């Protein structure tokens, strides 16, 4: 489990076949989970200057692997003692979006991202979303587009300040919204009655 608050922007030393070599002062244990641009990966080897993670064929098909060349957002899995900010993030990429517009203003930057139609029902205005491992709030969403508003601090402290129109990004929708949508899609009876029963049970 992750929070969507990136702890490090790490250089990528090598990416060949299924192995991703990250340069970092972080010393994870073998088997630890690390989110790289939002994708949960497993540490398989430690090096003097970093660690190596493994990407399955399935993972490589689901993420924007072309962005694993120079630098990446890194977040170790949460520990029970960690302070929790951001939102609940699993590190499971739902789709790849594409930046179609960027507008920089005095105290904010607006990003417009085109998303695949199969996740549009999971996007809620003012709801949470994870883009390349960053926990963000959706400003607006219409049809196959979502907009994000980043404050200068977020822009500077992440790789977003390097992003250009046409860049593909990893998207993970909000886990709670996704879970509710799945439950409702599986119910053949009156779906809202079923939803009420579920929520009242907590």
**pLDDT tens digit string along 11-63?**
999 999 899 999 999 999 999 999 999 999 999 999 999 999 999 999 999 99
From the centroid of its chain, how far is CA 12?
Answer: 18
Angle (deg, nearest 10), helices 191-200 and 175-186: 130
pLDDT at residue 198 tops 60: no
Specify the number of domains making up the chain.
Answer: 2
Q: Are 72 and 109 found together in one domain?
A: no
The CATH number of residue 13's host domain is 2.40.30.20
Q: Are 39 and 103 found together in one domain?
A: no
Angle value at C-alpha 10, between 30 and 98, nearest 5 degrees:
110
Q: Are 67 and 107 found together in one domain?
A: no
In a domain, 46, yes or no: yes
- 91-146 confidence digits (pLDDT tens): 999 999 999 999 999 899 999 999 999 999 999 999 999 999 999 999 999 889 99
In a domain, 24, yes or no: yes
Structure tokens at 53: 């993670």
pLDDT at residue 180 tops 90: no
pTM of the predicted structure, to 2 decimals: 0.87
Question: Which pLDDT band holds residue 4 (cuts at 50, 70, 90)?
Answer: confident
In a domain, 1, yes or no: no
Residue 81 has what pLDDT? 59
Residue 165 has what pLDDT? 98
In a domain, 113, yes or no: yes
- 143-169 confidence digits (pLDDT tens): 899 999 999 999 999 999 999 999 999
Q: Report the distance separating Cα 39 and Cα 74, nearest Å.
A: 9
**DSSP assignment of 104-126, as one string?**
E-SS-EEEEEE--GGGGGG--TT
Q: Are 58 and 131 found together in one domain?
A: no
Segments forming the whole domain that contains residue 124: 95-179
Q: Are 71 and 147 found together in one domain?
A: no
In a domain, 197, yes or no: no
Structure tokens at 166: 């046409």
Sign of CA dihedral 174, 135, 142, 99: negative
Q: Report the distance separating Cα 138 and Cα 87, nearest Å.
A: 13
Q: Are 111 and 38 found together in one domain?
A: no
In a domain, 199, yes or no: no
């Amino acid at each position: 489990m992750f929070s969507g608050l990136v702890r490090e922007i790490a250089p990528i030393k090598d990416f060949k076949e299924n192995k991703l070599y990250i340069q970092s002062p972080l010393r994870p244990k073998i088997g630890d989970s690390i989110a790289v641009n939002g994708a949960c990966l497993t540490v398989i080897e430690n090096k003097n200057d970093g660690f190596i993670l493994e990407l399955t064929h399935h993972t490589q098909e689901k993420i924007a692997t072309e962005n694993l060349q120079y630098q990446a957002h890194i977040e170790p899995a949460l520990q029970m003692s960690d302070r929790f900010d951001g939102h609940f993030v699993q590190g499971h990429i739902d789709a790849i979006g594409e930046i179609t517009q960027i507008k920089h203003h005095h105290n904010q930057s607006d990003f417009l991202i085109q998303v695949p139609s199969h996740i549009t029902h999971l996007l809620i205005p003012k709801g949470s979303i994870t883009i390349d491992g960053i926990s963000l709030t959706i400003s607006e969403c219409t049809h196959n587009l979502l907009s994000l508003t980043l404050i200068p601090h977020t822009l500077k402290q992440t790789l977003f300040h390097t992003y250009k129109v046409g860049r593909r990004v990893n998207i993970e929708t909000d886990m709670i919204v996704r879970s509710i949508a799945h439950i409702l899609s599986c119910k053949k009876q009156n779906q809202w009655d079923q939803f009420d029963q579920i929520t009242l049970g907590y």
